[in-house]
């Protein structure tokens, strides 16, 4: 079990380093940060000064070496725009995103398991057909459209909820509701398929022969077995939320890491971009580890 986790960690760390290399060089090769950051009328001297201040005149390899050293010591440089440590800017935004992702995925997981399981229990029945339609629509509706419609209906017309920004619990409702829809649709379908298989399995037959009630048969006997493929999909969906729901955060003016990344890319604030990528990659790496752990917890055959 421990060696299993160690192996997975090493593999993920290698890809983490690869990602860092790739992103660093790409961000330096898409244009001169000095030219883009400073106003068009800035003089060559000012640009030169700017480059020297941020070490942009050194060869790329030197810059990269310095960068790796900084990463290891936790110094990800200053934000060029905000004149604050980049890591601080990113973690501040990332906490928002993390909360958004955790709350949304918790709700999605709980709801999808209940709906998918019940649909599977009476597959072909009314509830199953209803949930199939809902989940299909949920999985296919574009979220930006849904976000705009939600704002029009709930904020503009009904004036129940704020249109954007943060400040109160009410501000969270629309982003969470909109982000909920697609993963819910997808996960319900996976849960349903996986549960239909588990419910027709031999061990469920044994449980019925033992006289076990329907509730424990679904949620104890079948569900734990059916969760293995579901967890993979939950991980995928959670990863896309952790990356920052760029469009949704932008529409709702939500100060998460997705919005921060877009803003920083447009402003060539590459210290922040690199820090953001590093932080989200680390988060996704940790989440994959959690998923592997969840696998091992659910299935004793993986543990051995």
Q: List residues binding other proteins (CB under 8 A).
A: 201-203, 205-213, 216, 221, 224-225, 298-301, 304
d(CA 45, CA 118): 69
Q: CA 248, 252, 254: angle at the middle one, nearest 5? A: 90
Minimum CB distance to other proteins, residue 227 (Å): 9
Tokens of 160: 């129940």
Taking the least distance from each CB to other proteins, the nearer of 168 and 206 is: 206
Closest CA relative to residue 238, chosen from 142, 103, 113, 136: 103
Taking the least distance from each CB to other proteins, the nearer of 74 and 300 is: 300
Taking the least distance from each CB to other proteins, the nearer of 13 and 220 is: 220
- C-alpha 253: how far from chain center: 18
Minimum CB distance to other proteins, residue 54 (Å): 55
Taking the least distance from each CB to other proteins, the nearer of 65 and 125 is: 125
Closest CA relative to residue 184, chosen from 125, 106, 256: 106
Minimum CB distance to other proteins, residue 235 (Å): 19
Taking the least distance from each CB to other proteins, the nearer of 164 and 201 is: 201
d(CA 97, CA 93): 7
Closest CA relative to residue 249, chosen from 92, 97, 90, 81: 97
Minimum CB distance to other proteins, residue 201 (Å): 7
Say whether 90 sits in a helix, a strand or coil. helix
Minimum CB distance to other proteins, residue 216 (Å): 7
Minimum CB distance to other proteins, residue 199 (Å): 10
Contact by Cβ (8 Å): 163, 155: yes
d(CA 76, CA 24): 12
Taking the least distance from each CB to other proteins, the nearer of 27 and 117 is: 117
């Amino acid at each position: 079990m421990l060696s299993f986790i160690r192996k997975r960690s090493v593999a993920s760390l290698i890809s983490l380093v690869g990602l860092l290399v790739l992103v660093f060089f790409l961000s330096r090769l898409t244009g001169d940060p000095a030219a883009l950051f400073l106003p068009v009328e800035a003089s060559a001297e000012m640009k030169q000064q700017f480059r020297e201040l941020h070490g942009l005149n050194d060869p790329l390899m030197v810059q990269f070496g310095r960068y790796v050293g900084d990463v290891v010591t936790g110094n990800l440089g200053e934000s060029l725009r905000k004149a604050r440590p980049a890591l601080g800017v990113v973690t501040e935004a990332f906490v928002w995103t993390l909360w958004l992702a955790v709350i949304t995925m918790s709700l999605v997981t709980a709801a999808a398991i209940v709906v998918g399981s019940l649909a599977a229990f009476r597959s072909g029945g009314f509830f199953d057909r209803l949930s199939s339609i809902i989940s299909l629509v949920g999985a296919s509706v574009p979220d930006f459209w849904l976000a705009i419609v939600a704002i029009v209906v709930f904020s503009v017309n009904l004036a129940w909820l704020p249109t954007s920004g943060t400040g109160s619990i009410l501000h969270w409702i629309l982003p969470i509701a909109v982000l909920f829809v697609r993963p819910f649709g997808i996960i319900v379908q996976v849960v349903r398929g996986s549960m239909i298989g588990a419910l027709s399995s031999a061990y469920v037959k044994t449980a019925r022969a033992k006289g076990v009630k329907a509730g424990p048969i679904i949620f104890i006997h079948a569900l734990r077995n059916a969760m293995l493929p579901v967890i993979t999909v939950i991980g995928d969906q959670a990863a896309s939320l952790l990356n920052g729901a760029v469009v949704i955060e932008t529409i709702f003016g939500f100060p998460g890491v997705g919005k921060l990344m877009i803003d920083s890319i447009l402003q060539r604030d590459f210290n922040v971009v690199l820090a953001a990528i590093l932080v989200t990659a680390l988060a996704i790496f940790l989440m994959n580890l959690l998923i592997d752990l969840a696998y091992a917890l659910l299935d004793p055959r993986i543990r051995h």
